[in-house]
């Protein structure tokens, strides 16, 4: 039996679920590693063309936006100290960082591309979920909270909309909001590409201006993070066992995948990255286990599963149908035990998997 598709008998056997969930997590990591390698391949295959194109658009738009901000700030600083020639070069609006970073191979950074693929998939999911909404569907969950929620809910819902809008602004398309460490790497790469562009027009003053502009950009990188905004909104909503399933389904019906992931994270006690990995793991049943661990009943899991299967062509609806009955009969505590390792720190889980890929070296006695 594969890790990706358990028989219904396994879903009904708590003793075997822990092993299945661990196998599924390893398989999900392997699929992401393949996807990172695949993103720049021209032939169709591991990543579908739609996801590949969306990821590359997102990457290029993100590099372009970073270049515009760093070069603009540095150009103004150079103008202020009389370095007009260098300022003119930086202010020329020539987008050269993207092709230069591609040529240098820096865009093949696994952590960066993994984050971009994940965000592109979330974007595509939201687009597909929005297309599924009926014209008479009524208010989305966020709009409902803004208009009818209490003071805390209205403020948190407004912040969520603002954060979500920040990655969608500009004619160049969606802009990635990345983890701080990844964003910092991009900023320094762009600053180095701009320094290279200056050539002989650079010098100590140009280096100082570029570094100051880069540091300013890095300091602002945490503004408008959609995951933090989603987590604040979930805290304001204060989901209960009685309404959590309704809220999660409503989030999907409203095409708010980050909010759905945040509700899941709060329910099962995992971080945002772990929750999102469950939502994006379309090849296994870990998400359905997580929804059961969150206390969702059979009907709520079926509705959420139907929406995600309709929006994500990689999901197999028949696979969900096969396990719905045993899943509904499964105790939430048993489902929670099956995915318990997800509550451990992500770095620790990654280290455990890294060691598991390498057998211990056998040492012979002296």
Dihedrals φ, ψ of 83, to 5°?
Answer: -90, 70
Q: What is the pLDDT of residue 174?
A: 64
Q: How far is CA 188 from CA 48, 131, 185, in A?
A: 31, 38, 5
**Whole-angstrom distance, CA of residue 264 vs CA of residue 278:** 9
Per the listing, tokens 């994500």 go with 312
- 359, with CB counted inside 10 A (0-12, 13-18, 19+), is exposed
Q: What is the pLDDT of residue 364?
A: 63
Contact 168, 174 (CB under 8 A): yes
What's the angle, vertex CA 147, arms to CA 141 and CA 149, rounded to 5? 75
Contact 78, 209 (CB under 8 A): yes
pLDDT single digits (tens) 295-326: 999 999 999 999 999 999 888 888 899 999 99
Q: What is the pLDDT of residue 45?
A: 44
Contact 163, 225 (CB under 8 A): yes
The answer for residues whose C-beta is within 8 angstroms of residue 33's C-beta and 6 or more apart is: 110
DSSP state, 342?
Answer: G
Q: What is the pLDDT of residue 1?
A: 44
Q: How far is CA 123 from CA 58, 65, 117, 146, 209, in A?
A: 10, 18, 10, 23, 35
DSSP string covering 194-232, please?
HHHHHGGG-SHHHHHHHHHHHHHHHHTTTTT-HHHHHHH
Q: Which of 270, 269, 249, 268 is nearest to 260 (CA)?
A: 249
- For the chain, the domains span 1-44+241-357, 48-238
Q: Which residues of the chain have pLDDT under 50?
A: 1-4, 44-45, 170-171, 366
DSSP string covering 41-76, please?
--SSSSS-HHHHHHHHHHHHHHHHHHHHHHHHHHHH
pLDDT single digits (tens) 67-105: 999 999 999 999 999 898 999 989 886 788 999 999 999
Start-end of H helices in the chain: 8-11, 14-38, 49-80, 84-90, 97-104, 110-132, 141-148, 151-166, 180-198, 204-219, 226-237, 244-253, 257-268, 272-280, 286-293, 298-311, 317-329, 332-338, 346-356
Q: What is the pLDDT of residue 43?
A: 56
The answer for residues whose C-beta is within 8 angstroms of residue 227's C-beta and 6 or more apart is: 258, 261, 262, 272, 276
Give me 272's structure tokens: 């945002």
**Whole-angstrom distance, CA of residue 140 vs CA of residue 132:** 13
């Amino acid at each position: 039996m594969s890790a990706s598709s358990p028989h219904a008998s396994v879903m009904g056997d708590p003793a075997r679920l822990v092993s299945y969930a661990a196998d599924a997590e390893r398989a999900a990591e392997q699929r992401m590693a393949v996807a990172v390698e695949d993103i720049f391949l021209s032939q169709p295959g591991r990543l579908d063309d739609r996801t590949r194109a969306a990821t590359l658009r997102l990457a290029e738009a993100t590099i372009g936006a970073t270049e515009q901000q760093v070069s603009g700030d540095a150009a103004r600083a150079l103008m202020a100290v009389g370095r007009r020639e260098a300022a003119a070069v930086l202010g020329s609006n020539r987008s050269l960082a993207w092709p230069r970073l591609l040529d240098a191979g820096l865009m093949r950074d696994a952590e960066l591309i993994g984050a971009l693929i994940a965000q592109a998939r979330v974007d595509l999911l939201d687009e597909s979920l929005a297309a599924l909404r009926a014209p008479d569907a009524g208010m989305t969950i966020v709009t409902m909270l803004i208009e009818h929620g209490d003071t805390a809910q209205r403020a948190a819902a407004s912040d969520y909309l603002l954060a979500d809008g920040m990655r969608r602004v500009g004619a160049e398309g969606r802009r990635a909001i990345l983890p701080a460490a990844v964003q910092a790497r991009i900023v320094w790469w762009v600053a180095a590409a701009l320094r290279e562009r200056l050539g002989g027009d650079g010098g100590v003053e140009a280096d100082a201006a570029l570094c100051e502009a880069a540091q300013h950009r890095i300091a602002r990188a945490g503004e408008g993070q959609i995951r933090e905004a989603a987590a604040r909104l979930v805290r304001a909503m204060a989901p209960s066992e009685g309404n959590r399933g309704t809220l999660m389904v409503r989030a999907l019906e409203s095409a708010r995948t980050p909010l759905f992931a945040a509700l899941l994270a709060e329910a099962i006690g995992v971080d945002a990255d772990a929750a999102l990995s469950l939502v994006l793991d379309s090849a296994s049943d870990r998400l359905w286990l997580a929804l059961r661990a969150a206390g969702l009943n059979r009907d709520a899991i079926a509705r959420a599963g139907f929406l995600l299967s309709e929006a994500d062509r990689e999901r197999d609806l028949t696979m969900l149908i096969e396990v719905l009955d045993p899943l509904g009969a499964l105790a939430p505590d048993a489902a929670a035990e099956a995915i318990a390792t997800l509550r451990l720190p992500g770095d620790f889980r990654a280290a455990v998997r890294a060691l598991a890929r390498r057998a211990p070296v056998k040492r012979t006695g002296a």
